[in-house]
Structure 1
């Protein structure tokens, strides 16, 4: 096998599994440790990887945080599939917390007009749900983050501490062994409190968020009960969920209600 083929195979493995060790390269490509190290050096020179102790990971994807309206348009089909599945888990008399993420907004868009209580810091979610006559909506007051359309600050945290909910639905930018991560600390503090005030916590993330670590970690994996996503993750990721007792729900666009348990 030529070096170019080996480098391609290493990058492919990293995209599927997030990290690779020298031993895994040797086993995968049937090469010596010296050859594996030379391949990693080559990939590092090309800025395709970041070398770690004993292996490598992909470089962090540092990108501009898009506005709320722009994010609504990104992987919108996946967001709608996940949102519809999340909405199907909300029942009459439930007290639920919805955060201000775009994937959770998809959940709000699919919620039926049932007698339930919704607590949110999102002006978008409150507006969408306001047409439902049976719903009791509690909009948390605080400082408005204009670009991303959520309310935050000490007043939001204090108000949240007075509520006890059945379920919380939380959107994220990344979920990995490093926990649940997002771009803004102020949003993270609110999400963390939302999780603490609910009996069950559902993290909502399309497949592009799996294995990703963003700027601010607001909670470890062990603090969520369910992950709702649109594609079955790699085996390594599923094993990580199992170790943290997180149940995996795969939102299926063809057969409503079908899921997979991890």
Structure 2
């Protein structure tokens, strides 16, 4: 077996079992400990593993998040999630929406009327500005062009003065430990949003399950509903159930209307 074939086999094993040892590699591939270590060094140089005592594990920390436009141009499952989330909204609801692209799809699909919209997303504000009967409150703060939203102390101060029925919140990463975000600003704005809402609805495509980013936002027991496009792995699914979170898989949710405000 050539080295590249061994490396691919190592990664497949790690995807299923999370850890591999040098001894396992020697037994399976019939190679020396030095060859096994060289294989692991190569994978580590590529950023695909983390070497630990006696073997290797997959990185648990996701360090790169695509720009807003990149995520918007990759809508796999997100529009379906948006339609499902929109069906949970009722006319007259006071809503808080963050800057997630999945939340933008939900905004586009909403048909409820006479809603009050609070958001730090310039795109979500623009969408509702073209709908009938929506009252829009755009939070203050500094514009982050990468995320196309407003963040910072002013954003958080504005949120402290508000109370809403429902929060539609995007998720950068969800594990059994809770929600995580890429940056301090994003994490603290999400935390402030959680404190404003009677009901927290997290919108997360299936790629977010199992991802852990740098900053923790909240534990799972702070969430009421997760809307997604596919069942998460048993570890996350079990943790959601234990925390009392309702899991809605978009393809199974009966659509309730459409159109625009």
Q: Are 1:184 and 2:183 an aligned pair? A: yes
| Structure-to-structure mapping, 1:82-101, within 5 angstroms | 82-101=81-100
| Aligned equivalent of 1:131 | 130
Q: Deviations along 1:142-188, whole A, 9 cap, x unmatched?
A: 21112321111222211111211111111121111342112221122
Q: Which protein has greater RCO, CA pairs closer than 8 Å, 6+ apart?
A: 2
Shift of 1:10: 6.8
Higher mean C-alpha displacement, 48-57 vs 186-195: 48-57
| Aligned equivalent of 1:34 | none
Counterpart CA distance in 1 for 2:87 and 2:185 is 29
In structure 1, stretches of 5+ residues that fail to align are 32-36
Give the match's secondary structure for 1:151: strand
CA contact (8 A) 1:82 1:229 kept: yes
RMSD over aligned Cα, in angstroms?
3.3
Shift of 1:247: 1.8
TM-score if structure 1 supplies the norm length?
A: 0.78
Higher mean C-alpha displacement, 133-142 vs 191-200: 133-142
In structure 2, stretches of 5+ residues that fail to align are 28-32, 256-261
Counterpart CA distance in 2 for 1:240 and 1:7 is 32
Report the CA distance shift for 1:20/1:177 in structure 2 as closer, same or farther (over 3 A): farther
CA contact (8 A) 1:43 1:49 kept: no
Report the CA distance shift for 1:144/1:12 in structure 2 as closer, same or farther (over 3 A): same
Counterpart CA distance in 2 for 1:155 and 1:145 is 13
Report the CA distance shift for 1:199/1:16 in structure 2 as closer, same or farther (over 3 A): farther
Report the CA distance shift for 1:244/1:144 in structure 2 as closer, same or farther (over 3 A): same
Counterpart CA distance in 2 for 1:127 and 1:164 is 22
CA contact (8 A) 2:163 2:196 kept: yes
Shift of 1:251: 0.8
Higher mean C-alpha displacement, 80-89 vs 232-241: 232-241
TM-score if structure 2 supplies the norm length?
A: 0.79
CA contact (8 A) 2:67 2:146 kept: yes
Counterpart CA distance in 1 for 2:245 and 2:181 is 19
Q: Are 1:157 and 2:152 an aligned pair? A: no
| Aligned equivalent of 2:121 | 122
Q: Deviations along 1:103-154, whole A, 9 cap, x unmatched?
A: 1111111111511111101110000011222211111122111232111122
| Structure-to-structure mapping, 1:1-262, within 5 angstroms | 11-12=11-12, 14-15=14-15, 19=18, 44-45=40-41, 46-47=43-44, 48-50=48-50, 57-59=57-59, 60-63=61-64, 65-74=65-74, 76-252=75-251, 256-257=253-254
CA contact (8 A) 1:87 1:110 kept: yes
